[in-house]
Amino acid sequence: MWIGSYLDKHKSKDKEWKILRNEKNVRLLSIDDLKGVPKEVKKELIKIKDKPLKGEVLRVFKKNMKIIREGLIKETISVIK
């Protein structure tokens, strides 16, 4: 299932989601859309995926997003087309 359809159903009244959804320059990606993400990063993100983003979970999320962001910049991680 494409992530947008889930969010369309569960955030149908969310103004920010509607803006993002209709913006032509925005593309939502999941970790499965990325090539070269270290296994440990995937493992840590999967472990926290259903938890609220606060405290230790937020720290883990930010740490791993930084690794992904740096990998995209250095081109060690790429978007699968």
The pLDDT, as a whole number, for residue 10 is 77
Instruction: Note the pTM of the prediction, 2 decimals.
Output: 0.75
- Tokens 């926290």 sit at which residue? 48
Helix and strand counts by DSSP (H, E) for the chain: 4, 2
Of the candidates 48, 32, 33, 42, the residue with the CA atom closest to the CA atom of residue 67: 42
pLDDT by residue for the chain (81 residues), tens only, comes to: 456 677 777 777 888 888 888 888 888 888 999 999 999 999 999 999 889 999 999 999 999 999 999 999 999 999 997
Domain boundary assignment for the chain: 3-79
| Helix, strand, or coil (residue 79) | strand
Evaluate whether 62 touches 18 at the Cβ level (below 8 Å): no
